[in-house]
Amino acid sequence: MIRFDNVSKRYENGHEALKQVSFTLMPGEMCFLTGHSGAGKSTLLKLIMRMEKATQGLVMVHDRNLSQMADRHVPHLRRNIGVVFQNHQLLFDRSVFDNVALPLVIEGADPSDIARRVRAALDKVGLLNKEKLSPIMLSGGEQQRVGIARAVVTRPPIILADEPTGNLDPKLSAEVMHLFRQFNETGVTILIASHDLDLVYSMGNRVLTLKDGFMISDGNNAV
């Protein structure tokens, strides 16, 4: 479960990026986060990963209060959260396989386990036949799917995505969203920040809307 209770975030320059935000995401829920550029979407995701700390209020992830979490527990929190970015942040001097394997290598997983789990993740995103290629040889949509495979390879119970379809055309964007839906159907909690309102509302999930740091709506209807 992810719970924000009256959360505000003020950056060191004084800018208040989130203002008294409250919501609860139940385990297994899929939800979108939308709002204008600068509304606070990335800040909200960063608070869930403890990349930033709330200035006020309570951020709870899996019953842990992130404001009180000691720094040494943060890596464990992050292992439970798969993250997908717009620009994939893939390593172009490594193969697709190696890119997806990276979180498992960092975790110190057994090599035979790594191979099995990387192939399972690549299979889920339909890229099993491209494991030896460099990501640079793949299309934008395929690169994004490598990024998703890397996010799910550790089987995290939570996936956060920040504008995961930002560089993709509408057809590829819909494909990526349906991939997230498939992961959600296996019980993964998913929160996707996107400013693509047509795509967001076409999915029929809950939508949280931020405006100037305030949460101005929480529901299934366009505002």
Tokens 């495979």, residue? 149
Q: What is the smallest separation between the CB atom of 106 and ligand ATP, expressed in angstroms?
A: 25
208 binds ligand ATP (CB under 6 A): no
Q: Is 19 in the site for ligand ATP (CB under 6 A)?
A: no
Return the range that interacts with ligand ATP (CB under 6 A); candidates 35-43, 92-100, 150-158, 168-176.
35-43
Q: Which residue has the tokens 């292992």?
A: 79
Q: How many residues bind ligand ATP (CB under 6 A)?
A: 13
CA distance 215 to 5: 12
By the rule CB under 6 A, 68 interacts with ligand ATP: no
Structure tokens at 189: 């909690």
87 binds ligand ATP (CB under 6 A): no
Position 13 contacts ligand ATP (CB under 6 A): yes
Contact segment (CB under 6 A) with ligand ATP among 8-16, 65-73, 96-104, 173-181 equals 8-16
Q: Determine the interface stretch with ligand ATP among 37-45, 53-61, 75-83, 111-119 (rule: CB under 6 A).
A: 37-45
Q: Where are the alpha helices (DSSP H) in the chain?
A: 41-49, 74-79, 96-107, 111-124, 140-152, 170-185, 197-203
Cβ proximity to ligand ATP: between 41 and 117 the closer is 41
Residue 88 engages ligand ATP in binding (rule: CB under 6 A): no
| Residue 17 in contact with ligand ATP, rule: CB under 6 A | yes
Nearest to 213 by CA among 61, 40, 22: 40
What Cα–Cα distance (Å) separates residue 65 from each residue in 7, 32, 33, 158? 12, 23, 22, 16
Q: Note the Cα 126 to chain centre separation in Å.
A: 19
Gap between the Cα atoms of 100 and 40, Å rounded: 29
Binding region for ligand ATP (CB under 6 A):
11, 13, 15, 17, 35, 37-43, 195
